[in-house]
Structure 1
Amino acid sequence: MKALQGVEGQVEWVERTAAKCGDGEVRIQVAAAGLNRADLLQRAGHYPPPPGVTDILGLECSGVISEVGAGASYQIGDRVCALLAGGGMAEEVVVDSRHVLPVPQGLSLPEAAVIPEVYATAWLNLFRLGVLQPGEKVLLHAGASGVGSAAIQLCKAFGNPCWVSVGSTDRLAYCESLGAQGGVLRGESLEALRDFGPFDLILDPVGAKYVALNTQLLATDGRWVMIGLMGGRKAEVDLGLLLAKRIQLIGSTLRSRGAADKADLLADMQNEIWPLFANQTLSPRLERSFPARDVEAAFAALASNRVSGKVALVIDDSLA
């Protein structure tokens, strides 16, 4: 099969041997794959896959099931999307059937391809780890990103007012159209966020650059969930402020979580989130899709930081 791998900052299609489909697994003929910042990092050599995981790019995909292992609860021909630790940017992928969900009613396969990673990340960190309660206030850094787009919609759906930090007025308007109460631009003073705080939860993909700001903006008993390090990994922390406010600092990654943990997370999502796609409360926010031959353009679009929402790579347009 053809598969996409990152090599010295570039991406290229290579021939790979297809994996066998074991008990409890399904084989998906891939229609489309979602692009994520993790793919950019892996391509650049900064985010290797966990031990035992393929180096093929792609943390989420959609397609049609072509083979079913013993005990898997799907049938050949089912339209599905999947959360992956890697391997989604290929003609086919074999995955634990517990990490697969049916395509939500009314969505295309490219739209479904960009749901699993960002909505799993947002749901895990806002509601499971962050234990967000109705009415609590949320700050989302990088609010126009794929994860940010999902998080804004989930906050609105579950009764949590949220604010964002973003890179442009257009992206702020985009976030407000999804349900954000407001926000500030990174190029201006982020201190203006004080006007909207204090916040009960901050979802932070930036890291070191925002450490001092986050500790000041959080309310007593606030939760600071760190999901990325775009702004660096080392910073000085005022531990006295953490103690005084009883702030919880939570580090979180999704890719390296165990199979059972991910299965439980996706089962929760199917119960709580999937009905909200069917009634159009939630949206995939697919901004652009690219054919497989234009993979470099797809990666460039994501790397530009000008995309609001998600980018998809269409692997098999006969399915999509």
Structure 2
Amino acid sequence: MRAVVITSPGGPEVLQVQEVEDPVVGDDEVLIKVEATALNRADTVQRKGLYPLPKGASPYPGLECSGTVVTVGKSVACWKVGDQVCALLSGGGYAEKVAVPAGQVLPIPEGVSLRDAASFPEVACTVWSTIFMTSQLSPGETLLVHGGSSGIGTFAIQIAKHLGIRVFVTAGSEEKLAACKNLGADVCINYKTEDFVARVEEETGGKGISSVLQQLGLQCRYLTTESNYDAGVDVILDNVGGPYLQKNLDSLGMDGRLFIIGFMGGAVTEVNLSCLLARRLTVQAAGLRNRSLENKAKIVAEVKKHVWSAIAAGKVKPIVYKTFPLSEAAEAHKLMEGSSHVGKILLIP
């Protein structure tokens, strides 16, 4: 089969299509003939040599795909040859075929094309496992998503709004904010021109005390009155990391939960911890790729139960920005790293 090989750690130019051996299909796996795969930021980190592969994972990039089942392992009873599916992968999506544990395979959501279905598994499993399964985000609460125009962001906006949650987003341009607004975001903040901490506090009933404290050289709302602790959102989904940690804590209300899924801005920072105690805050973090097969299967089952019905009802739609052939994987990576896109970027074998 043909697959995109990372010839050496480096820039997009190190991605080369080569002829490689077909995947070996285990007893508990299915082999999928790939219709499409979708790019994720983790793919660019892997390409740079900064994302070690989980044990046993395919060396080729690609954390999700859609396609048709062509081989079924002898222990698999839930899928058959010819089924059209999409799947959460540990790697290998940038190829014509990929072997996947049966528990990580999903049916194509009703009303979605086979190709566009490739845009859902990674973002759906990431968002559902973090802010819903772990942070227990509930109807009537508030959510702040950084990078609202990303694949993760565009999905999170839609599913949260469907579940009755007030959604705040940050993005770096008015065009991206407009796209987020069209998807249902309630409060759209340009992080390049506006202090998102002050805006969140203002929109949630605060008196702007955080901004005053910061002007005085003080960090964290631990000096505020009990009545102002309720200002802030309930849950934040963050992929920036270190530079945003203090700001995120300052943007949370009482019993707020911060979930970190990436470190695009860096992993090291200094923080005043007093606000965690004063407002009973929780800081959580997790990846998806390194979880056990059992844990991934549980997440996939939860996504099928809670998310697929929302997609079938038209409440959550695939947001596909552009599609490239597999041979142009390098160009697709350049587009992703340029951050001008909204939603997902697909590759077609």
TM-score range, shorter chain: over 0.9
Deviations 1:76-116 (A, max 9, x none): 11110010010111110111111000111222222111110
Aligned to 2:202: 195
Aligned to 1:55: 59
Question: Partner of 2:181: helix, strand, or coil?
Answer: helix
Aligned to 1:155: 160
Distance 1:306 1:80 in 2: 30
Deviations 1:253-279 (A, max 9, x none): 011110000101111111111111112
1:254-293 map, 5 Å: 254-293=288-327
Contact persistence 1:110–1:289 (CA under 8 A): no
Aligned to 2:186: 181
Counterpart selection for 1:85 from 73, 78, 90: 90
Q: Give % identity.
A: 39
Displacement of 1:152 after TM fit?
A: 0.4
2:73 maps to 1:66: no
Equivalent AA in structure 1 for residue 4 of structure 2: L
2:243 maps to 1:209: yes
Equivalent AA in structure 2 for residue 165 of structure 1: T
Distance 1:204 1:2 in 2: 35
Distance 2:172 2:52 in 1: 28
Deviations 1:226-247 (A, max 9, x none): 0000111111111111111111
Question: Partner of 2:311: helix, strand, or coil?
Answer: helix
Contact persistence 2:4–2:329 (CA under 8 A): no
Displacement of 1:75 after TM fit?
A: 1.1
Equivalent AA in structure 2 for residue 148 of structure 1: G
Aligned to 2:252: 218
Deviations 1:8-41 (A, max 9, x none): 3221112322222222210001111010000111
Question: Partner of 2:133: helix, strand, or coil?
Answer: helix
Displacement of 1:46 after TM fit?
A: 1.4
Contact persistence 2:29–2:99 (CA under 8 A): yes
Distance 2:188 2:309 in 1: 29
Which stretch shifts more, 16-25 or 170-179?
A: 16-25
Counterpart selection for 1:168 from 173, 178, 201: 173
2:286 maps to 1:252: yes
2:270 maps to 1:236: yes
Question: Partner of 2:347: helix, strand, or coil?
Answer: strand
Contact persistence 1:48–1:55 (CA under 8 A): no
Equivalent AA in structure 1 for residue 332 of structure 2: A
Displacement of 1:52 after TM fit?
A: 2.4
Distance 1:38 1:203 in 2: 16
Displacement of 1:194 after TM fit?
A: 2.4
Question: Partner of 1:211: helix, strand, or coil?
Answer: helix
Contact persistence 1:5–1:43 (CA under 8 A): no
Distance 1:164 1:194 in 2: 14
Contact persistence 1:82–1:100 (CA under 8 A): yes
Equivalent AA in structure 2 for residue 135 of structure 1: G
2:127 maps to 1:100: no
Stretches of 4+ moved more than 4 A in 1? Answer: none
TM-score by length of 1: 0.96
Contact persistence 1:172–1:182 (CA under 8 A): no
Question: Partner of 1:112: helix, strand, or coil?
Answer: helix
Distance 1:295 1:172 in 2: 27
Aligned to 1:38: 42
Aligned to 2:142: 137
Distance 2:274 2:337 in 1: 37
Aligned to 1:318: none
Structure 2 unmatched ranges of 5 or more: 205-231
Equivalent AA in structure 1 for residue 188 of structure 2: G
Contact persistence 2:16–2:327 (CA under 8 A): no
Question: Partner of 1:220: helix, strand, or coil?
Answer: strand
Contact persistence 1:202–1:225 (CA under 8 A): yes
Equivalent AA in structure 2 for residue 231 of structure 1: G
**Two-structure CA RMSD over aligned residues (Å):** 1.1
Distance 1:235 1:196 in 2: 27
Displacement of 1:5 after TM fit?
A: 2.3
Which stretch shifts more, 167-176 or 184-193?
A: 184-193
Contact persistence 1:183–1:193 (CA under 8 A): no
Aligned to 2:348: 314
Distance 2:75 2:121 in 1: 22
Question: Partner of 1:109: helix, strand, or coil?
Answer: coil
Aligned length: 315
Distance 1:11 1:194 in 2: 44
Deviations 1:102-154 (A, max 9, x none): 11122222211111001111111110011111111111011111001111011
Larger Rg: 1 or 2?
2
